[in-house]
Amino acid sequence: MMNPLTTNATPDRIMDAAGELFAENGFRQTSIRDICAHANVNIAAVNYHFRDKEGLYEAILQRSFDKCVNCYPIVATDGPPEERLAIFVRMFLLRILGSGQPAWHGKLMAAEMANPTAAFSKLVEQAARPTHNVLLGIVRDLMHTTENTYQVEAVALSIMGQCLFYKHSRPVIELLGIPIPVTQSEIESLAEHITQFSLDGISGVRAVVAHA
Amino acid sequence: MMNPLTTNATPDRIMDAAGELFAENGFRQTSIRDICAHANVNIAAVNYHFRDKEGLYEAILQRSFDKCVNCYPIVATDGPPEERLAIFVRMFLLRILGSGQPAWHGKLMAAEMANPTAAFSKLVEQAARPTHNVLLGIVRDLMHTTENTYQVEAVALSIMGQCLFYKHSRPVIELLGIPIPVTQSEIESLAEHITQFSLDGISGVRAVVAHA
Amino acid sequence: MMNPLTTNATPDRIMDAAGELFAENGFRQTSIRDICAHANVNIAAVNYHFRDKEGLYEAILQRSFDKCVNCYPIVATDGPPEERLAIFVRMFLLRILGSGQPAWHGKLMAAEMANPTAAFSKLVEQAARPTHNVLLGIVRDLMHTTENTYQVEAVALSIMGQCLFYKHSRPVIELLGIPIPVTQSEIESLAEHITQFSLDGISGVRAVVAHA
Amino acid sequence: MMNPLTTNATPDRIMDAAGELFAENGFRQTSIRDICAHANVNIAAVNYHFRDKEGLYEAILQRSFDKCVNCYPIVATDGPPEERLAIFVRMFLLRILGSGQPAWHGKLMAAEMANPTAAFSKLVEQAARPTHNVLLGIVRDLMHTTENTYQVEAVALSIMGQCLFYKHSRPVIELLGIPIPVTQSEIESLAEHITQFSLDGISGVRAVVAHA
DNA sequence: TATGAATGAGCCTTCATTCAT
DNA sequence: AATGAATGAAGGCTCATTCAT
């Protein structure tokens, strides 16, 4: 668990241990004592390096976000919107389901989405809004409009919902006996499904709009 | 001190107060003292009536589920699958977004989905699986198949994902400035969108399947 | 130390133990653990009965004051001012040096006078100001004036200073090898000295004032 | 980082900051972290330069005493005792109320007098006893005796009490709305009052003694 | 000489829970 | 059936101090 080549500085060891425990048991359930025991550091180290239990949480959240944003950038690109949607969905799924980040990241995010802390609101602005805006641009192009109409937003949420469902409701999905995609190819299969499903869904909505 | 004619019995008062507080602050964050203070009962009442803080939680979860299941029943029906899907989506959205249940139910469920307790697993079997099976049946009919293929399940999850997104990610959606449907008509508008989007999505997927 | 006839309720046992420890070691130096160990009660009892460590402190201060005020009332009386001063000094010394209250009361008050807490300010209004006003009245009569002139106030403080010195500077006085009055008769001897010294001091000041 | 020409050396900066904080918040209340932050030095500097938090406290106490003793020397002098008393009172008040030393010195001393530390006992021998002996000599001469009788000691304490009251009970005096002398002339006015009051007080006591 | 990361003891407080009434 | 005083474990946090650098 610890890379023998690099000494893994104390703050990093704390963040690694804490992230896992926070995700497993929740913020309150997890005690600083536990974290320090797992990280093999003194109990005062958290307060020294992060000032607070909450400070530690914020640091973990931020680092987690930074990693995933850097790893799977989602930016506005050129090209036909159908292709851009495919890329978007693929990147987004890799970002939230891929192995590029610790396994506990998902649970942490799901918990935050359901019950966001102050620390999270900042991250929404940093990451969620830009991502959402990129998606809105793609959907607008697909629907041949330049405005964020109710339809555009509803479609964007439909797409996001399909993706995030696997992350937020993972425990329930597993309880229902459905396997969660984890490997690169499984995730890409899912991306293809959601892309296709959504492109067709949009074509129907567009038709309705055209009628109206 | 307690008027037996007009006020709820002690256990009900406790459950009402606790449900709200659990949803607002989380299970751990909420103390028995707080609950009893809000319910205007003795501090020992929770342990007396529910054996445990956890026992109280289970009771609340169960009661909440019972209410919503009775209020918006989701059962297999006859008729063309397109129509059955429309009914399903409408009922499901009303169930999770409607005002028929305390406002805090959603947060509670979202938290449970992200991090299920033992109490929740039972409820999944009781409620989530039957609901999922009804949806699978509709999707199978829409896709002209009798088996729960990968496609069928993926489509079902795409539909569920669209619906539950509004519940699970409500705080983030609101942070993005998008209004959450709350009135009956708003919810029905959303149901129409999701139904239409999904029906068109399915038609595309079906076409692809037919090709393969 | 504990009256075997009365069971000494928990809060009283805590206050007795805490008063002693606070006076001995100071507020901060004294830990709730110590207090509870000495009082033979659970560590949570302080928070249960007094909400706070500070709440306990306030309660002790208040009770201590109440006791001494009731025991040695200082009120405006009739009679020749010389006699009234004698009574005042005697009562005041008995109040602060007498055995009517726990031995630690003095240290507590001395510490408060040098570094008053918020709780103390209230007590000053409750007890110190009335006492001071009674003394001012006596001094005014002795000096044949009806106003609180600078001289009147200076004389009043001279009298108070002589009395309180034995309380505030007790440790230093003892370090100098001078015995502190403790018995009733010792205290009354001191009261006679201070009364006589002050009456003569006043006569001189009055003479000066008359000249001016 | 540190200009050796204009700024105090590290130990001095620490003592200055610590003295103020100790007086303001008390010894325990003040943390080494706070002191070092105010003194702009490393957190380990206190332990490095003074071995201990307590070592720092002793150093501050000693330095403070040295300064005040050098500034307002109190030594046995020649001349009529009435005049010597006037000088004594004036010097003593300037010593404890004057601006020749940091404002926090008074609080520190008052706290020590109420609850002396080991460090303080030494200072009593160094400073308090000589001062007291000088005063005893003056009072003996005023009372025409060569022995430290009970009366002599009582009178000496009466004089000291009047002076120290302004220092020890300063917060209470201020709470009562009475201004504390601070300027040179205010202090000298007070000195005149105490001197006059005490001289007249002594004359009465002497008369009583002569009678007995 | 001086630093600052790291330590571990101890602080006050809150918690769910129990038990005599 | 219901109370509330009392319990003891555990919580987050701050502290003075040390030690490798």
C-alpha distance from A9 to closest chain B C-alpha (Å): 30
For C159, the closest chain D residue by CA position comes to D162
For B181, the closest chain A residue by CA position comes to A154
Cβ atoms of B38 and B21 within 8 Å: the answer is yes
- How far, in Å, are A121, C82, C145, C208, D179 from residue C140 at the CA level? 69, 11, 5, 15, 19
Q: Which residues of D131-149 are buried (b: 16+ CB within 10 A; e: fewer)?
A: bbebbebbbbbbbeeeeee
pLDDT digits (tens, 9 = 90+) for A89-99: 999 998 888 77
Strand ranges, E, within C67-155? none
Cβ atoms of D15 and D59 within 8 Å: the answer is yes
Tell the residue number behind the tokens 């008369």, with chain if given. D207
d(CA B57, CA B63): 10
A49 touches strand F (CB under 7 A): no
Task: Give the whole-number percent of chain C exceeding pLDDT 70.
Answer: 91
Contacts C–D by Cβ distance under 8 A: 171
In this predicted structure, the answer to whether residue A156 has a pLDDT above a threshold of 70 is yes
Asked whether the beta carbons of residue D162 and residue C163 sit closer than 8 angstroms, the reply is no
Q: Is C180 in the D-facing interface, judged by CB distances under 8 Å?
A: no
d(CA D206, CA D144): 8
Q: Going by C-beta distance under 8 Å and a sequence separation of 6 or more, which residues neighbour residue B122?
A: none
pLDDT digits (tens, 9 = 90+) for D132-187: 999 999 999 999 999 999 999 999 999 999 999 998 888 889 889 999 999 999 99
Q: What is the pLDDT of residue D94?
A: 87
Task: Tell me the pLDDT band of C2, cut-offs 50, 70 and 90.
Answer: very low
In this predicted structure, the answer to whether residue D1 has a pLDDT above a threshold of 60 is no
Cβ atoms of D154 and C193 within 8 Å: the answer is yes
Taking each helix axis as running N to C, give the angle between helix D32-39 and helix D10-25, from 0 to 180 degrees, rounded to the nearest 10. 130
CA–C1' gap, B46 and F5, in angstroms: 17
d(CA D27, CA B109): 52
Asked whether the beta carbons of residue A164 and residue B163 sit closer than 8 angstroms, the reply is no
Q: What is the pLDDT of residue C208?
A: 64
Q: Is D117 in the C-facing interface, judged by CB distances under 8 Å?
A: no
Delimit the domains of chain C by residue range.
Answer: 7-51, 73-210
Of A5-14, B199-208, C182-191, D27-36, the poorest mean pLDDT is in: A5-14
Cα D40 from chain centre = 29
Of the two residues D129 and A86, the one the predictor is more confident about is A86
pLDDT in 10s for each residue of chain B, 212 residues = 444 444 568 899 999 999 888 888 888 889 999 999 999 999 999 999 998 898 999 898 888 878 777 777 777 788 999 999 999 999 999 888 877 666 667 667 777 776 777 777 777 787 788 899 999 999 999 999 999 999 999 999 999 999 999 988 888 899 899 999 999 999 999 999 999 999 999 987 776 666 55
Q: Is A206 in the B-facing interface, judged by CB distances under 8 Å?
A: no
Q: Which nucleotides of strand F lie within 7 A of protein CB? A: 2-19
Cβ atoms of B46 and B25 within 8 Å: the answer is no
A-contacting residues of B 32-71, CB under 8 Å? Answer: none
Q: What is the pLDDT of residue D64?
A: 81
Q: Going by C-beta distance under 8 Å and a sequence separation of 6 or more, which residues neighbour residue D29?
A: C28
Q: Which chains touch A (3 or more CB pairs under 8 A)?
A: B
Asked whether the beta carbons of residue B176 and residue A113 sit closer than 8 angstroms, the reply is no
In this predicted structure, the answer to whether residue C198 has a pLDDT above a threshold of 90 is yes
pLDDT digits (tens, 9 = 90+) for C90-102: 999 988 887 766 7
Whole-prediction pTM value?
Answer: 0.78
Q: Give chain B as a 3 state SS string.
A: CCCCCCCCCHHHHHHHHHHHHHHHHCCCCCCHHHHHHHHCCCCCHHHHHHCCHHHHHHHHHHHHHHHHHHHCCCCCCCCCHHHHHHHHHHHHHHHHHCCCCCCCHHHHHHHHHHCCCHHHHHHHHHHHHHHHHHHHHHHHHHCCCCCCCHHHHHHHHHHHHHHHHHHHCHHHHHHCCCCCCCCHHHHHHHHHHHHHHHHHHHHHHHHHHHHC
d(CA A22, CA A8): 20
For the segment A21-50, the average pLDDT, to the nearest whole number, is: 91
C-alpha distance from A103 to closest chain B C-alpha (Å): 14
Asked whether the beta carbons of residue A193 and residue B169 sit closer than 8 angstroms, the reply is no
d(CA D91, CA D188): 9
* CA-CA-CA-CA dihedral for D140, D145, D147, D153, to nearest 10: -40
pLDDT digits (tens, 9 = 90+) for A69-80: 777 778 878 999
Asked whether the beta carbons of residue A107 and residue B115 sit closer than 8 angstroms, the reply is yes
C-alpha distance from A45 to closest chain B C-alpha (Å): 24
C-alpha distance from A132 to closest chain B C-alpha (Å): 8
d(CA C22, CA C34): 10
Tell the residue number behind the tokens 């004592």, with chain if given. A33
In this predicted structure, the answer to whether residue C168 has a pLDDT above a threshold of 90 is no
- Residue C104 φ then ψ, to 5°: -80, -10
Cβ atoms of A174 and A61 within 8 Å: the answer is no
Tell the residue number behind the tokens 């009770």, with chain if given. C63
For the segment C73-96, the average pLDDT, to the nearest whole number, is: 90
Asked whether the beta carbons of residue B204 and residue A194 sit closer than 8 angstroms, the reply is no
d(CA B171, CA B108): 13
Task: Give the whole-number percent of chain D exceeding pLDDT 70.
Answer: 89
Q: What is the pLDDT of residue B197?
A: 96
CATH fold, domain D73-210, is Tetracycline Repressor; domain 2 (1.10.357)
For the segment A82-111, the average pLDDT, to the nearest whole number, is: 83
In three-state secondary structure terms, D180 is coil
Task: State which residues between 3 and 32 of chain C bring their CB within 7 Å of strand E.
Answer: 30-32
Q: Residue D82: exposed, middle, or buried by beta-carbon count in 10 A (0-12, 13-18, 19+)?
A: middle
C-alpha distance from D77 to closest chain C C-alpha (Å): 22
Q: Is A127 in the B-facing interface, judged by CB distances under 8 Å?
A: no
Q: What is the pLDDT of residue A2?
A: 37
Nearest CA to A205 out of B162, B142, B160, B143 is that of: B162
Contacts A–B by Cβ distance under 8 A: 170
Q: Which nucleotides of strand E lie within 7 A of protein CB? A: 2-19
Task: Tell me the pLDDT band of D103, cut-offs 50, 70 and 90.
Answer: low
Q: What is the pLDDT of residue C209?
A: 61
B10 touches strand F (CB under 7 A): yes
d(CA D21, CA B86): 72
C44 touches strand F (CB under 7 A): yes
D146 touches strand E (CB under 7 A): no
Asked whether the beta carbons of residue D132 and residue C176 sit closer than 8 angstroms, the reply is yes
Query: What does the mean pLDDT of chain A come to?
Result: 86
Nearest CA to B157 out of D128, D157, A174 is that of: A174
D37 touches strand E (CB under 7 A): no
Half-sphere exposure at residue A189, Cβ-oriented, CA atoms within 13 angstroms: 12
In this predicted structure, the answer to whether residue D124 has a pLDDT above a threshold of 90 is no
CB atoms within 10 A of CB A69: 16
Q: Give D77-119 as a 3 state SS string.
A: CCCCHHHHHHHHHHHHHHHHHCCCCCCCHHHHHHHHHHCCCHH
- How far, in Å, are A200, B175, C212, D83 from residue C198 at the CA level? 104, 76, 21, 20
Cβ atoms of D89 and D194 within 8 Å: the answer is yes
CB-closest option in B111, B124, B203 to A115: B111
CB-closest option in C111, C129, C154 to D115: C111
Cβ atoms of B163 and A172 within 8 Å: the answer is no
Contacts of D200 in chain C (CB under 8 A): 200-205
Q: At the top level of CATH, which class does the domain C7-51 belong to?
A: mainly alpha
For the segment C198-210, the average pLDDT, to the nearest whole number, is: 80
Q: Highest mean pLDDT range out of B108-117, C24-33, C84-93, D67-76? A: C84-93
